[in-house]
Structure 1
Amino acid sequence: MKLRKPWMISTAAALGALALRSWLATVRYRYQPLGPNMDPHRPEMTGRYLYAFWHENILLPASQYARPDIHVLISQHADGQLITKICKRLGFSVVNGSTTRGGVKAFREMVSISETSHLAITPDGPRGPRRIVQPGVVMLAARTGLPIVTMGIAYAAAWRAKSWDRFAMPKPFSRAHLVTGELIHVPATVTPETLEPYRLWVQASLDHATAAAEAWAASNRWQAPEPLIPPPLSEPTADAA
């Protein structure tokens, strides 16, 4: 059944947020940084950051990091209104748009918001391909000046939807594991023509953090992976731009 009337969407969002909050509260959360501790709940946390995680794993950030000073990008697809209202009830601030629908407006809004807020984005969303970083996250980092924090997420036990991203739903009373990578700084001079080395670096960092989280979830024992060696990235010159 399609939810078209505003009161139906609001009611469904309220019930959905309550159910999600109760369900996810049973999931045990564990965190390990590969670089600096990037938990935004830390009292000594300073600065603002661009958090990037795979589309399939949005439930863990929703349960652990939903707060007004983190703006998350939600695509304008058919269920966007409902998802937006659920995210807001969980505590997130929301920007509506994507790389395909409402993209320019959303991009400009995220750039403006970044002056006072963290940002969160799923770099393979809203339609995939699954676990493939799209250029938008690199351009957003370049225009905002925010360092990218890659977030590898895995669950010890989860249901998987038959969607393009194989959306993950952790089972009640299971474990969720989060691993963050080293900070990635993108120069302001990067353009759509020169961003590919940075996109590949974000891809490698997300894959590395995700593999570490998945190994941790499978064994229930943390073992630090081999360090990921940064590629020789050089700031684009004016001629290259």
Structure 2
Amino acid sequence: MNIRKKIADSEAVLNWAARRIAGYIRMVHRNTRWQRIGYDELDRLADQGEPVIVVLWHQRLAQSPYFFPLGKGSICSITSSARAGSMVGRVQQLFGMDTIAMASKTRHVALSRQVLGKMKQGISIGIAADGPRGPERVLSTVPLVWARTSGKRVFGITYSAKHGSEAGTWDRLLMPRPWRNEGVFLCREWTETVPRKASEDQIEALRQSLEQHMNDITAEADRMVGRAPWAPKG
């Protein structure tokens, strides 16, 4: 193992990096004037200990520790076990979130078993539905499978900030300016029902519906702070 890989895999280095990233997230949150919109029902369910499925876009991960009302309930996020995904998990744990690291070889059945076990304990589940490698804003069927199996409600959550830049990553990660900023957290329930015996055509139609729901609320959040609308690459 070369020295660069040893450093990259060092627990001390990884924890230091996670603390630095968490510090940036906290700074952004502290120095931004936020609006929190559409959370009444999610707050009520969290107060009652009723778990839900939270869906977000990978592009909006940078403020994800503030998406869910952690003072009212618990949430477990699904991350990749690869280095970048592992770092996301480390950062979210610093904010009091639980995580499940999903290896690329993990069978969906095994992951779903863990997820359903968390929800039976009253823990909500959060997933970036176009992660961990994209394509950008192409929603996977995973949250639909969990909604069908658990019967739990699905909430799309996003955020936007007036001042910030997009990273040169596959997801064009939004990096807000950490001072004198304005932002919005927007939460809206996806109200479609996933039938227990849904056909492939039904699942695809529902997948497109949830994908559009996520794009709609993200575009709405962007408009509220004056950001240019998202457009596919190419």
Output one character per residue of 1:140-187: Cα deviation in whole Å (capped at 9) or x when no partner: 211121111112432211121101100011112312222223333323
Take 1:212 and 1:58, find their aligned partners in 2: how far apart are those partners? 17
One-letter identity of the residue aligned with 1:131 = R
Q: Give the partner amino acid of 1:102.
A: T
CA RMSD of aligned residues (A): 2.6
Aligned residue in 2 for 1:208: 216
**Shift of the alpha carbon at 1:48?**
1.9
What CA distance in whole angstroms lies between the structure 2 residues aligned with 1:79 and 1:125?
Answer: 11
Structure 1: gaps (5+ residues): 220-241
Percentage identity across aligned positions?
A: 18
Q: TM-score, normalised by structure 1?
A: 0.78
Match of 2:106 among 99, 102, 106: 102
Size of the alignment, in residue pairs? 216
Between Structure 1 and Structure 2, the one with more helix by share is 2
Distance in 2, matches of 1:188 and 1:16, equals 40
1:190 aligns with 2:198: yes
Change (3 A) 1:18 1:210: closer
Q: Does 1:83 align with 2:83?
A: no
- Please point out which of 182, 189, 201 is paired with 1:175: 182
Counterpart check, 1:62 vs 2:69: no
110, 121, 125: which one aligns with 2:131: 125
Partner in structure 2 of residue 10 of structure 1:
15
5+ residue gaps, structure 2, are 228-234
Kept in 2: contact 1:25–1:63 (CA 8 A): no
Q: Distance in 2 between matches of 1:66 and 1:182?
A: 15
Please tell me whether the aligned partners of residues 152 and 212 of structure 1 are also in contact (alpha carbons under 8 angstroms).
Answer: no
Alignment of 1:30-41 (within 5 A): 30-33=35-38, 37-40=40-43
Instruction: From the superposition, tell whether residues 192 and 110 of structure 1 become closer, same or farther in structure 2 (CA, over 3 Å).
Output: farther
- 1:108 is aligned with what amino acid? R
How far is the alpha carbon of 1:46 from its aligned partner? 5.6
Match of 2:231 in 1: none
TM-score of the aligned structures, taking structure 2 as reference length? 0.80
After TM superposition, the structure 1 stretch with the greater mean CA deviation from structure 2, 41-50 or 158-167, is 41-50
Aligned-partner residue type, residue 12 of structure 2: W
* Aligned partner (choices 48, 52, 55) of residue 51 of structure 2: 48
1:163 is aligned to 169
